[in-house]
């Protein structure tokens, strides 16, 4: 198929480009390079420097490349920044996506739209694991804007026949280090890369945000999912939509929770380095525990995470760091 990956120079997007190329799809990447890395897009994959918020530019890309399926990763992703700078999120995540969807609906060629969504649409859950029907109470403009896009997709699907899947990622992590791909955010705010920075000496220590949460060891619990597993889920979602399967939202996680301390312990054993931790106050807006119920993706998409072991996820992230930074 001919596919478009927006945000294809970013972390999850660049892994998706590789996954699509590996199974024989054609890919065009659109990225505005606000956070992407040009070297994350393989040579030979067409790259268009553009803003997905330009319906005109996106219509030209869809037309010129005869695009049949769209994977939409381009977005702003920092919860704290979204609270301080909501305009960037409402415009960058909602308004820009609506502009892209105008181009998609008018294209006449696009048969499926796969949206990067997030567990942040749920807010603090009533219970874990969280299923897709759990009430949506996002607690940041980031979560609000991702939920608003899902609502638009529902309405456009009903009214205009758009086939869509919104994939709600829990904590994306790991790397396809053999392909030279990994996580490079600037600034980095995610736990696993920060813990590995503490292991490599790039930072002195890692702060543990909250040590008296109502969790087994008092630190926050999250469902970490390998980025390559996320990509496989996107391929499964595309197949599902093309087979005429029902549009909808799917949690993507492993169904297993791991605490911050567990991550640090696994990182210590994998790296063999010293990692200094500092107990810190909880971070505003962090729920104590977020774990996905993953039955819907298993049943409907026939997908489940194959790289769920924490040692695999942290090990691949470390291998990427060793390769990319020679630490």
d(CA 147, CA 153): 10
Q: How far is the CB of 99 from ligand UDP (least distance, A)?
A: 26
- State the virtual CA torsion across 18, 152, 85, 132 in degrees, nearest 10: -70
Q: Position of tokens 């709600």?
A: 168
The residue from 181, 194, 199, 235 that contacts ligand UDP (CB under 6 A) is: 194
220 vs 233 by CB, closer to ligand UDP? 220
Q: How far is the CB of 210 from ligand UDP (least distance, A)?
A: 6
Per DSSP, the residues of 190-207 read -HHHHHHHHHHTSSS-EE
Asked if residue 55 binds ligand UDP (CB under 6 A), the reply is: no
| CB within 8 Å of 254: residues ≥ 6 apart | 170, 223, 224, 225, 229, 292, 294, 305, 308
The residue from 16, 175, 198, 206 that contacts ligand UDP (CB under 6 A) is: 206
Of 136, 163, 156, residue with least CA distance to 147: 136
| DSSP conformational letter for 128 | S
d(CA 204, CA 185): 19
189 vs 276 by CB, closer to ligand UDP? 189
Residue 229: Cβ-neighbour burial (10 angstroms; 0-12, 13-18, 19+): buried
Per the annotation, the verdict on 224 as an active-site residue is no
The residue from 165, 260, 291, 310 that contacts ligand UDP (CB under 6 A) is: 260
| CB within 8 Å of 191: residues ≥ 6 apart | 171, 206, 222, 260, 263
Q: How far is the CB of 54 from ligand UDP (least distance, A)?
A: 29
Residue 303: Cβ-neighbour burial (10 angstroms; 0-12, 13-18, 19+): buried
Asked if residue 215 binds ligand UDP (CB under 6 A), the reply is: no
Q: How far is the CB of 157 from ligand UDP (least distance, A)?
A: 27
Q: How far is the CB of 269 from ligand UDP (least distance, A)?
A: 18
Asked if residue 200 binds ligand UDP (CB under 6 A), the reply is: no
Restricting to residues 141-180, name those near ligand UDP by CB under 6 A: 171
Asked if residue 222 binds ligand UDP (CB under 6 A), the reply is: yes
Restricting to residues 262-321, name those near ligand UDP by CB under 6 A: 283, 286
Question: What are the angstrom distances between the C-alpha of 230 and each of 19, 169, 251?
Answer: 10, 8, 10
Q: How far is the CB of 282 from ligand UDP (least distance, A)?
A: 7
113 vs 169 by CB, closer to ligand UDP? 169
Asked if residue 251 binds ligand UDP (CB under 6 A), the reply is: no
- Of the candidates 122, 142, 156, 224, the residue annotated as catalytic is 142
Asked if residue 185 binds ligand UDP (CB under 6 A), the reply is: no
Q: How far is the CB of 220 from ligand UDP (least distance, A)?
A: 3
Asked if residue 191 binds ligand UDP (CB under 6 A), the reply is: yes
Locate 269 and state its tokens: 């054993």
Asked if residue 209 binds ligand UDP (CB under 6 A), the reply is: yes
d(CA 173, CA 171): 6
Asked if residue 17 binds ligand UDP (CB under 6 A), the reply is: no
* Interface segment toward ligand UDP; rule CB under 6 A; list 2-10, 22-30, 40-48, 206-214: 206-214
- The kind and range of the H/E element at 235 are helix 227-242
Please tell me the count of residues contacting ligand UDP according to CB under 6 A.
14
- The kind and range of the H/E element at 220 are none
The residue from 25, 91, 190, 312 that contacts ligand UDP (CB under 6 A) is: 190
Phi, psi angle pair for 100, to nearest 5°: -60, -40
Contacts with ligand UDP, residue ranges (CB under 6 A): 171, 189-191, 194, 206-209, 220, 222, 260, 283, 286
Active site positions, annotated: 142
């Amino acid at each position: 198929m001919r596919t478009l990956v927006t945000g294809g120079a970013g972390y999850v997007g660049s892994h998706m480009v590789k996954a699509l190329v590996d199974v024989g799809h054609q890919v065009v990447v659109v990225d505005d390079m606000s956070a992407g890395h040009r070297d994350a897009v393989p040579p030979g994959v067409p790259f268009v420097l553009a803003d997905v918020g330009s319906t005109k530019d996106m219509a030209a890309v869809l037309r010129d490349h005869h695009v049949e399926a769209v994977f939409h990763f381009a977005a702003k992703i920092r919860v704290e920044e979204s609270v301080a700078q909501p305009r960037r999120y409402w415009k960058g995540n909602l308004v820009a996506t609506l502009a892209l969807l105008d181009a998609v609906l008018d294209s006449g060629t696009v048969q499926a739209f796969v949206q990067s969504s997030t567990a942040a649409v749920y807010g603090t859950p009533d219970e874990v694991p969280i299923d897709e029907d759990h009430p949506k109470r996002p607690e940041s403009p980031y979560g609000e804007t991702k939920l608003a896009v899902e609502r638009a997709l529902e309405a456009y699907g009903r009214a205009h026949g758009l086939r869509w899947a919104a994939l709600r990622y829990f904590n994306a992590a790991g790397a396809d280090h053999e392909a030279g791909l990994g996580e490079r955010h600037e600034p980095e705010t995610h736990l696993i890369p920060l813990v590995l920075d503490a292991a490599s000496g790039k930072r002195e220590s890692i702060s543990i945000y909250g040590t008296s949460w109502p969790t087994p060891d008092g630190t926050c619990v999250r469902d970490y999912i390998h980025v390559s597993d996320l990509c496989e889920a996107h391929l499964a979602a595309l197949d599902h939509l093309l087979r005429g399967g029902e549009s909808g939202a799917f949690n993507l996680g492993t169904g297993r929770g791991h605490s911050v301390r567990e991550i640090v312990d696994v990182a210590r054993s994998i790296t063999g380095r010293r990692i200094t931790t500092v107990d810190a106050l909880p971070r505003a807006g962090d729920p104590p525990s977020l774990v996905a119920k993953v039955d819907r993706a298993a049943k409907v998409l026939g997908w489940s995470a194959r790289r769920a072991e924490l040692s695999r996820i942290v090990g691949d992230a470390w291998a990427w760091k060793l390769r990319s930074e020679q630490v």
